[in-house]
A = this chain, B = another copy of it.
Amino acid sequence: MNISAASGAAGLPVKTVRYYADIGLVSASSRTASGYRLYDDGAVRKLVFIRRAREFGFSIDECRELLSLYEDQHRSSADVKRIASKRLGEIAKKQRELQSLHDELAHLVDACRGDDRPDCPIIDGLDHRHADM
């Protein structure tokens, strides 16, 4: 399986697959005589694993950690749960922040007439007069 087949199977751009090989995350299983990367099923599985983990918001370093757990037959699920729970907490925090941002901005947008007059509650809301809100 050459790199484009592997990237297609994994749902990742070719560039990204090459990048993951460069940083030692998922290497090609072998090379052709002319230097083309070859990926076997195991390597593709790892690529999919990484893609999914990235979609969950795990950083590359966290992916590295998860991958080593994934590859380790003796890993405890406690290790995995610890990492995943940490991520879950971060996601929840991000959600709360986004919510307050959303509410604040929505309030300003609602208050804005959106006509051609220069008076604008959004600009005012961003200005220093309300900087401590």
Contact = CB atoms under 8 A, between A and B. Distances in A.
Q: How many copies does the complex hold?
A: 2
A126 interface: yes
A105 B87 CA distance: 9
A113 B48 contact: no
Contacts of A106: 88
Interface residues of A, number: 56
Interface in A76-133: 76-78, 80-82, 84-85, 87-88, 91-92, 94-95, 98-99, 101-102, 104-106, 108-109, 112-123, 125-128, 131
Interface of A: 11, 44-45, 48-49, 52-53, 55-57, 66, 69-70, 73-78, 80-82, 84-85, 87-88, 91-92, 94-95, 98-99, 101-102, 104-106, 108-109, 112-123, 125-128, 131
